[in-house]
Structure 1
Amino acid sequence: MNQQDIIDFIKQSDSPKIKYAFTDIDGVLRGKIIHRQKFLDGLADGFGFCDVVWGWDSADAPYDNGKTTGWHSGYPDAPVRLDIETFRQIPWEGNIPFFLADFSPSPTGQPSTYATAACPRSLLKRIAAQCQEMGYHAEYAQEFEWFNFRETPQSLQEKNFQQLEPLTPGMFGYSILRPSLESAFYHDLFDSLAQFDIPLEGLHTETGPGVYEAAIMHDEVIKAADKAALFKTAVKEIAYRHGAIATFMAKWDADLPGCSGHIHQSLWNLDKTNNLFYDADQPDRMSELMRQFIAGQLYCLPHITPMFAPTINSYKRLVEGAWAPTTVTWSIDNRTTALRILNHKEAYTRVEHRVSGSDTNPYLAIAAALASGLYGIRHKLPLDIPASVGNGYDDTRNGVLPKNLAEATQAMANSPVAAELFGAAFVDHFARSRDWEWRQYIRQVSDWELKRYFEII
């Protein structure tokens, strides 16, 4: 439907309400239900939304180092605008109309501090526009792994997040048997997500108790990020309906594999007839454009790691032998490197970014992936890093990834490369939010410390 069709549908709908949401800096969906008339009245100028959403963390604790907003500014309303093209209906909520929103400038070009400094979707829109101006159509998809538990929000609190019951027991990746234990949930995921305009390419168990993996169908880069951002909350809501809790933590148990959020990416000509990463006449069928794109991603990666690993927990996943990379590497069809190249056929030729975890904000992770690839093309960077052979964990010739969020954040905050990619205002806001996250962590006394030191030291 075009924009007018959607407006007419809303006007004629039996439902007097619509739902909208946007992601904050942590990728958490924030939004509300509004009356149909308020929706129609706000299409041109947007709606007021308390800008505290850019001044607090995922637990609603206000930053003490905020610059974009804070106690010093009084937390005023900010103009949030609905994107009519994101219209869909939520099948598990009576088909209530739903829209994604962001804090982009108004149709008349009225500037938005939040779009420049904080809004993840607005950031991706700017980078996608740069991509198009360079003559490329960006085709993207994100895949996710996540664990499912037979718990509720209440039981998690009562158990203090200990001794949780996984949906199914044991290590059984790619199992046909295990999903049959929860077939209603399994098929509801696939079917309901499709009805919510998040079609899956595949859904299967991964190795670990109660863990699933889903690959979302690829799409234009902004639409792909929209689907990825909605996917995580949609899965959690569908799980609730089946008496389950889904977690997208990067690493919930030290003895189990972590959860990835790999990003699949390719550049095409603007009419989408040719995959510009594929060249049958070049070595390994890799075009010069693809080589520059890879070189840019590898060069920028140490400068922007928090975009792919945004939490304290992210770095518990990025360890050797845990199916996640630790080195700045690339290779063809190798799951131990940061970038995995898949190019046996033009239609499927792509770069898989394997640093990204399931705990990412999809808008930020995808924006970082695209921006860094375009950086390589814009600067005509040569791919002078040899492809890794065998175990990528042993290939440290081009450096290793940061070991924790503090190290990664400091590198990004001081990086002229990051400022060039995203703008100084965004880098400042994002780095402040990651610094806050680190400081909340180091104040805590963990169970490990109590068990190790309480009696003996």
Structure 2
Amino acid sequence: MVIGKLADRLVAEGYAHLWICYTDYNGRLAGRSIPRSRFAHVAERGTNFAKANFNFTILDQQVPDPRFTADTGDVLAIPDSEAVYPLPFHPGTALSFAMLHEEDGSLWDGCPRAALQRAVAALAEAGLSARIGLEPEFYLFEDEDLTPATRAGMYTIAGLDAQAAFIEQLTQHLVEMDITLEQIGKEYGPGQYEATATPADPVTAVDRYLVFRLAVRSIARAHGLRASFMPKPDATLAGCGLHVHVSLRDLATGADRTADPDHPSGLSAEARSFLAGWLQHADALTGLGAPTANSAKRLQPASWAPAHVCWGIGNRAALVRVPGLGARARLEFRSGDNTCNPYLYVAGLIWAGLDGLRRGLDPGPPAEADVGRLPATELAARGVRFLPRSTEAALDALDADTALAEGLGPLLHQEFLRVKRAELAMYRIQVTPWERAAYFEAP
């Protein structure tokens, strides 16, 4: 569909409202609703937003020493006519993902969606494309006190039965949005679920993930529930990750470039080097994919979340998992969570993989043990190190990573760090109930 026909299509299909959306550096969907009378104007010209919006934290507090202030002008959010989704849970409303432009029409360097497009273009220059599958975990609670929507056991049919009405409505609405779930299941934690959508090209996969997240929250509210994608909503609960599955393809032929049945790993030379790039940049990728103070509380040893830099075949304790051999050969990166900006996170994974390809890196042998349960001496003997043990260390690693900085571009790289460090600084001065319980009457 060409842009000039977008407004006509929306009117013909009976839409009264168009939500034009972009993501801020916290990964939140932001935007505004456009009435039908303005469809044609906005399809061509876009709608403006202050650049200053991008220097605010998740709590809507402006960062110290912001780059973008009240006098730094606007960006124009121009809807992508190929990324329009009906919102059946809001009848008469469609959502379009936007590209952010400068006033002169050029793409803005700070646009997260454009950053992922640049990474995809760089992958194409290497003769490759990628199919991406995003696998988010989330909780359904009955209230703010974290009462789980069900206490059915992990992976049980009882867990599906308990929330069958929610799952059926979610699945049906996603079909109406042309998003197909491969599966949805009851996860480990009480009230925790995990879903997997059909893989797609990187930009489409992230677009669909963001629409999925919106749908989960909206439909949960309609069922009297609260959905949370928080990495670690409580110390006693299993964490929620955002696993990223990547399959490499030949750009010209579409042939698989991930598997090699003649190699012991089951992976092609390109996939092995791509994987090695992930391991090489693991600390920085954790800063990009798990960028909040809460994120670090999920990445603990022996927690079913990765805490060490290694890879394995079928090994869920590893940072990078190859689910299986042959047709199941793909790369799964496991340290990220839903507090990331997914465009930047997937872009970072592509840039890290490309660096591995360009340098011909080798990932070494796969881990064949539950590394989260090995003593430090054994880990050292195997050459396995920890991921950053704090959010501050992960963000510092991202700051120092020249390959990811170059790939993302200086504006996005530095402003993402500015926002997340400001958020972390606010967290550090908070006083928690745990601290009061421990120290109020002590010593």
TM-score range, shorter chain: over 0.9
Q: Distance in 2 between matches of 1:272 and 1:312?
A: 43
> What is the CA distance between 1:6 and its match in structure 2?
4.1
Q: Which residue of 1 aligns with 2:352?
A: 372
Q: Does 1:452 align with 2:434?
A: no
Q: How does 1:379-394 map to 2 (within 5 A)?
A: 379-383=359-363, 385-393=364-372, 394=374
Q: Does 1:329 align with 2:310?
A: yes
User: Structure 1 129/273 Cα, relative in aligned 2: closer, same or farther at 3 Å?
Assistant: closer
Paired AA for residue 141 in structure 2: F
**Matched residue type, 1:93:** H
Offset at residue 136 of structure 1 (A)? 0.9
Q: Does structure 1 residue 418 correspond to structure 2 residue 415?
A: no
Residues 1:32 and 1:110: Cα distance change in structure 2 (over 3 Å): closer
CA distance in 1, matches of 2:342, 2:434: 32
| Kept after mapping to 1: 8 A contact 2:112/2:412 | no
Q: Indicate conservation of the 8 Å contact 1:375/1:421, yes or no.
A: no
Letter in 1 for 2:168: H
SS class of match (2:389): coil
Question: Unaligned regions of 5+ residues in structure 1, if any?
Answer: 157-162
Residue pairs, 1:59-208, within 5 angstroms: 59-67=59-67, 69-70=68-69, 73-74=70-71, 76-104=73-101, 110-112=105-107, 115-116=108-109, 118-151=110-143, 156=144, 163-170=145-152, 172-208=153-189
Residue by residue over 1:60-93, the C-alpha shift from the partner in whole angstroms, topping out at 9 and shown as x without a partner, is: 11111321x12xx436322112111001211111
- After superposition, the Cα gap between the structure-2 partners of 1:20 and 1:76, relative to the gap in structure 1 and judged at 3 Å, is same
Secondary structure in structure 2 of the residue aligned to 1:238: helix
Kindly provide the amino acid, as one letter, of the partner of residue 436 in structure 1.
A
Calculate the TM-score normalised by the size of structure 1.
0.90
Contact kept, 8 Å, 1:200 with 1:214, in 2: the verdict is: yes
Q: Deviation of residue 424 (structure 1)?
A: 2.4
Deviations, residues 146-171 of structure 1 (Å, cap 9, x unaligned): 111113xxxx3xxxxxx33211125x
Higher mean Cα deviation, 330-339 or 228-237? 228-237
Q: 1:179 to 1:267 in 2, by over 3 A?
A: same
Contact 1:150 1:166 survives alignment (8 Å): yes
Distance in 1 of aligned mates of 2:195 and 2:300? 23
Alignment of 1:236 with 2:238, yes or no, is no
* Structure 2 residue identity aligned to 1:332: I
Query: What amino acid is aligned across from residue 94 of structure 2 in structure 1?
Result: P
By how many angstroms is 1:319 displaced? 0.2
Conserved? CA contact 2:4–2:44, under 8 Å? no
2:392 maps to 406
Distance 2:300 2:287 in 1: 16
- Percent identity reads 30
Residue type matched to 2:97 in 1?
A: L
Structure 2: distance between partners of 1:194 and 1:404: 40
Give, in angstroms, the shift of residue 4 of structure 1: 5.8
SS of 1:42's equivalent in the other structure is helix
Cα pair distance change 1:228/1:377, threshold 3 Å: same
Question: Quick one: structure 1 residues 80 and 445, their matched pair in 2 at CA, closer, same or farther if it must change by over 3 Å?
Answer: same
Per the TM alignment, residue 381 of structure 1 is displaced from its structure 2 partner at its CA by 1.6
Could you tell which deviates more after superposition, 87-96 or 419-428? 419-428
The question of whether the paired residues in 2 share the 8 Å contact of 1:18 and 1:96 is answered with: yes
C-alpha distance in 2, partners of 1:10/1:364? 29
Secondary structure of the structure 1 residue equivalent to 2:45: coil
- Given that 1:236 and 1:245 are in contact with CA atoms closer than 8 Å, whether structure 2 keeps it comes out as yes
CA deviation map 1:324-347 (0-9, x unaligned):
11111001110000000134223x
Q: For the structure 1 residues 15 and 44, does the alpha-carbon distance in structure 2 shift closer, same or farther, using more than 3 Å as the test?
A: closer
> Is it true that 1:268 corresponds to 2:249 in the alignment?
yes
| Residues 303, 417 of structure 1: 8 Å contact kept | no
Instruction: Kindly report the root-mean-square deviation, in angstroms, between the aligned alpha carbons of the 2 structures.
Output: 1.9
Q: 1:402 to 1:456 in 2, by over 3 A?
A: same
The one-letter amino acid paired with 1:164 is: L
| Structure 1 counterpart of 2:423 | 437
Aligned partner of 2:149: which letter?
L
Retained in 1: the 8 A contact 2:17–2:34? yes
CA distance in 1 between partners of 2:159 and 2:266 (Å): 39
Q: Give the paired residue count.
A: 436
Q: 1:28 to 1:47 in 2, by over 3 A?
A: same
